[in-house]
């Protein structure tokens, strides 16, 4: 384990201090997979962390240790293993809550970010049917109400709201984007109105890398009394995130994108909101008293954690959160800011390549989505793959945004804390070979 | 030849650049629209049958967008099935699907003879993520032929 701050759990290192060469080497040594080769012995250049991140030893060890030493059902049973399992599970919740600046009781385990958004949407649906009684009425939607998203969202933050609107009679509206993918904040007062009940938006786009001005959106939502739901999938792994300071009502993120395991994610909900919200999945573990006629529900977060949970994965996600905190999110962000500049330069250096997203490195993640003139994204990805460079191709679960930016599909290179300048250089080299490989000249003219 | 060079045979690159049968024509007997949801590749394909003793594919016309593999595959397919009986066209589809399952090993000589230019896609079978691209047009053809024969049966029943 790499300890860059002086002690475990210490406050993150502050300032713009980035990772030194030896610290970066130590980080990479924590990720065994990064050392493998692909496609006939080429070193792997993993630039697909926005899809899913690689995992450090400490995450794998935490999961294994749980199964080897502590495995038992949590929150039930009086034996020692059950106690230890419950403690590991709740300690993991604490680690994740701490990383994003919230209280333990405000953090609900979910399968992933998609599930977290759906918990909010289905709780609102249930409230619209009268479930949860008078206290849940604030979540009820009907005809005349509006839900607002943005055109830059991942499908995970569009489709659940479309469905909620279809079930309740509410109307879906959206904030548009500029040609560089940044939100049209000038639309804000037109689109977010007294009729808006929910404003759901991402903290950072998985396609354009643009980081949202959360304060501006939250301020407008507060003015009109709308609930805010933040998709924090792409921010939590890459920058300091304090959800209390951001003042959002709900937030969703996934373990597997923040160096943790698959199968686990989290929903943050402001305490009084979670307390007032009706359950979604129902059954064991989320109840107080069950009779044959009726049931009373456990307080949050358990109310939203029906059935046996993904305990080992939660423990792994806790270890990932701790790992990130020990590196220091400021240091992670500073390192990735360098990668942002290098990635932008790489794309700008190759003729015939169009960037989807802002060309400036301000408020921007270390990822670049791009289109190569005359070459389909799938073919771009194949040539990069031949050089050992792993990128994502397709629409990255953001079809409306691609449509808006005039691209059927794109290729995307995305960095994480373990990405090096040499890797970005290898990406740039491989990218320069794409058009020539397909018989197009380097200049982008044909 | 590297795996990637085997994947992108010159014939494939040529068809991708200059596709055969592209552009939808009227007077078709059935149409199918297929998408590959992971990458957004799409093809709209029409079959135009000729009335003969055994129903025959008079021509195939299509419109689509996608990667070089998917576009070249529809193009090669439309050349290959033009003039074939419906039954032969369906069998060619089965043979091509078998080629895609061959992990790049190819098929026996007789099968490869039948597939002609479509054997250029053998290298695709080494890249599981690209097999769907190569099959997109063939999936549209199969669907359109099923629809066309259902329509024919219906007409005959109505008679
Ligand atoms: C911005 C954003 N939101 C939501 C998601 C969905 O995450 P998951 O598939 O882990 O639920 C992703 C992942 O692709 C994402 O990038």
pLDDT in tens, B105-122: 889 999 999 999 999 999
- Closest protein CA for atom 13 of ligand 1: A51
Q: Find which of A51, A374, A382 to mutate to test the B interface (most B CBs within 10 Å of its CB).
A: A382
Place of tokens 């643009």: A210
Closest-CA distance, A409 to chain B, in angstroms, reads 7
- Answer whether A342's CB lies under 8 Å from A421's CB: yes
For A136, the 3-state DSSP assignment is helix
Contact B60, B82 (CB under 8 A): yes
Residue A443 is predicted with a pLDDT of 57
Lowest mean pLDDT among A197-211, A326-340, B14-28, B145-159: B145-159
How far apart are the CA of A261 and the centre of ligand 1, in A? 14
Kindly state the percentage of chain B with pLDDT values over 70: 98
pLDDT of residue A244: 98
Which one of A159, A372, A378 makes the best mutation probe of the B interface by having the most chain B beta carbons within 10 Å? A378
* Pairwise CB contact (< 8 Å): A376 & B68: yes
Is B67 close to A39, i.e. CB distance below 8 A?
no
CA–CA separation, A47 and A423 (whole Å): 8
Residue B159: pLDDT band with limits 50, 70, 90: low
Tens of pLDDT along B35-80? 988 777 899 999 999 976 778 999 999 999 999 999 999 999 999 9
Q: What average pLDDT does the structure give for chain B?
A: 92
Give which of B33, B113, B115 is closest to B79, Cα–Cα.
B115
Q: Which of B4, B65, B127 sits opposite A408 (nearest CB)?
A: B65
For each of the domains in chain B, give its residue range(s) and CATH number, in order of start.
3-153 (3.90.1010.10)
Name the residue at shortest CA distance from atom 12 of ligand 1. Answer: A233
Residues of A noted as catalytic? 397
Report, in this order, helix, strand and coil percent for chain A, each rounded to 5: 40, 15, 40
What are the C-alpha distances in Å from A166 to residues A160, A230, A260, A357, B32? 10, 21, 34, 31, 29
Q: Tell me the C-alpha distance between B133 and B72, whole Å.
A: 10
Q: Which of A164, A184, A166 is nearest to A174 (CA)?
A: A184
Residues B73 and B36: beta-carbon distance below 8 Å? no
A:365-404 residues touching chain B, CB 8 A cutoff: 375-379, 382-383, 386, 393-395, 399, 402
Q: For position A17, what pLDDT does the model report?
A: 79
**Distance from residue A233's CA to the centre of ligand 1 (Å):** 6
Q: How many CA atoms lie within 13 A of A326 on its CB side?
A: 19
Strand, helix or coil for residue A56: coil
Q: Do B4 and A382 touch (CB under 8 A)?
A: yes
Q: Compute the distance from residue A156 Cα to the ligand 1 centre, in Å.
A: 6
Ligand 1 lining (C-beta closer than 6 Å): A 112-114, 154, 156-157, 202, 206, 231, 233-234, 254, 265, 397
Residue A391 CB-density burial (10 A; 0-12 exposed, 13-18 middle, 19+ buried): buried
List the single best residue of B18, B19, B39, B74 to mutate versus A (max A Cβ within 10 A): B39
Q: What is the mean pLDDT of residues B126-133?
A: 92
**pLDDT value at position A77?**
79
How far is residue B135's CA from residue B93's CA, in Å, rounded to a whole number? 9
Q: Which residues in chain B are closer than 8 Å to A386, comparing Cβ atoms?
A: 2-4
Place of tokens 């939502």: A221
Q: What are phi and psi of A183, to 5 degrees?
A: -65, 145
Query: What is the Cα–Cα distance from B54 to B44, expressed in whole angstroms?
Result: 25
Residue A239 alpha carbon to ligand 1 centre in Å: 16
Q: Say which residues have a Cβ less than 8 Å from residue A251's Cβ, sequence separation at least 6.
A: A100, A203, A229, A230, A231, A232, A243, A267, A268
Find the B1 Cα to ligand 1 centroid distance in Å. 38
- Among A residues 22-61, those touching chain B with beta carbons less than 8 Å apart: 39-40
Please check whether residue B61 is in contact with residue B28, taking contact to mean a CB–CB distance below 8 angstroms: yes
Could A382 and B130 be called an inter-chain contact, meaning their C-beta atoms sit closer than 8 Å? yes
Task: Show pLDDT as tens, one digit a residue, over chain A (446 residues).
Answer: 444 444 333 444 445 678 999 999 999 999 999 999 999 899 999 999 999 999 999 999 999 999 999 999 998 878 999 999 999 999 999 999 999 999 999 999 999 999 999 999 999 999 999 999 999 999 999 999 999 999 999 999 999 999 999 999 999 999 999 999 999 999 999 999 999 999 999 999 999 999 999 999 999 999 999 999 999 999 999 999 999 999 999 999 999 999 999 999 999 999 999 999 999 999 999 999 999 999 999 999 999 999 999 999 999 999 999 999 999 999 999 999 999 999 999 999 999 999 999 999 999 999 999 999 999 999 999 999 999 999 999 999 999 999 999 998 999 999 999 999 999 999 999 999 999 999 887 555 54
Q: What is the 3-state secondary structure (H, E, C) of A308-372?
A: CCCHHHHHHHHHHHHHHHHHCHHHHHHHHHHHHHHHHHHHHHCCCEEEECCCCCCCECCEEEEEE
Q: How far is CA B149 from CA A32, A242, A431, B31, B46, in A?
A: 56, 62, 47, 12, 13
- The reported pLDDT for the residue numbered A73 is 93
Taking CB atoms and an 8 Å limit, are B40 and A376 in contact across chains?
A: no
Are the Cβ atoms of A395 and B39 closer than 8 angstroms? yes
């Amino acid at each position: 384990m790499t300890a860059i701050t002086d002690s475990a759990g210490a406050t993150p290192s502050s300032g713009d201090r980035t990772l030194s060469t030896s610290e970066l080497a130590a980080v990479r040594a924590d990720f065994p997979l990064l050392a493998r080769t692909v496609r006939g012995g080429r070193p792997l250049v993993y630039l697909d962390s926005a899809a899913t991140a690689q995992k450090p030893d400490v995450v794998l060890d935490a999961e294994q240790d749980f199964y080897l030493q502590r495995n038992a059902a949590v929150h039930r049973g009086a034996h020692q293993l059950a106690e230890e399992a419950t403690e590991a599970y709740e300690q993991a919740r604490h680690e994740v809550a701490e990383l994003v600046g919230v209280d333990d009781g405000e953090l609900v385990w979910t399968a992933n970010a998609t599930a977290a958004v759906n918990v909010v949407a289905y709780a609102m649906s249930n409230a619209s049917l009268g479930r949860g009684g008078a206290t849940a009425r604030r979540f009820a939607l009907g005809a005349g109400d509006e839900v607002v998203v943005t055109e830059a969202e991942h499908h995970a933050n569009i489709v659940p709201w479309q469905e909620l609107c279809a079930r309740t009679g509410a109307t879906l509206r959206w904030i548009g984007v500029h040609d560089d993918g940044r939100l049209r904040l000038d639309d804000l007062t037109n689109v977010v109105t007294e009729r808006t009940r929910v404003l759901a938006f991402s903290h950072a786009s998985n396609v354009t890398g643009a980081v949202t001005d959360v304060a501006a959106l939250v301020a407008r939502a507060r003015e009109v009394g709308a609930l805010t739901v933040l998709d924090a999938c792409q921010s939590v792994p890459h920058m300091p995130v304090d959800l209390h300071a951001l003042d959002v009502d709900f937030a969703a993120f996934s373990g597997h994108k923040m160096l943790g395991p698959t199968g686990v994610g989290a929903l943050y909900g402001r305490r009084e909101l979670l307390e007032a919200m009706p359950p979604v999945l129902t059954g064991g573990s989320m109840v107080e008293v069950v009779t044959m006629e009726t049931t009373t529900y456990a307080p949050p977060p358990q109310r939203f954690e029906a059935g046996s949970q993904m305990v080992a994965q939660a423990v792994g996600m806790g270890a990932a959160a701790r790992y990130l905190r020990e590196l220091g999110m400021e240091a992670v962000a500073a390192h990735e800011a360098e990668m942002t500049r290098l990635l932008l330069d790489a794309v700008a250096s190759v003729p015939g390549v169009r960037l989807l997203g802002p060309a400036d490195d301000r408020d921007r993640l270390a990822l670049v989505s791009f289109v190569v003139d005359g070459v389909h994204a799938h073919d771009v990805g194949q040539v990069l793959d031949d050089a050992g460079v792993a990128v994502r191709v397709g629409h990255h679960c953001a079809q409306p945004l691609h449509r808006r930016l005039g691209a059927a599909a794109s290729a995307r290179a995305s960095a994480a804390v373990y990405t090096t300048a040499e890797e970005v250089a290898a990406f740039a080299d491989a990218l320069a070979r794409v058009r020539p490989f397909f018989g197009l000249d380097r200049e982008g003219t044909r | 030849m590297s795996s990637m060079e085997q994947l992108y045979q010159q014939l494939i690159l040529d068809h991708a650049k200059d596709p055969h049968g592209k552009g939808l024509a009227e007077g078709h007997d059935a149409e199918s629209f297929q998408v590959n949801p992971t990458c957004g590749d799409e093809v709209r394909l029409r079959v135009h049958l000729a009335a003969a003793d055994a129903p025959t594919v008079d021509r195939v016309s299509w419109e689509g967008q996608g990667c070089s593999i998917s576009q070249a595959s529809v193009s090669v397919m439309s050349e290959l099935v033009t003039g074939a009986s419906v039954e032969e066209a369906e069998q060619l589809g089965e043979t091509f699907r078998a080629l895609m399952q061959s992990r790049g090993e190819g098929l026996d000589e007789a099968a490869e003879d039948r597939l002609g230019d479509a054997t250029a896609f053998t290298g695709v079978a080494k890249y599981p993520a690209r097999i769907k691209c190569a099959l997109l047009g063939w999936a549209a053809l199969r669907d359109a032929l099923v629809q066309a024969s259902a329509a024919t049966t219906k007409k005959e029943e109505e008679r």
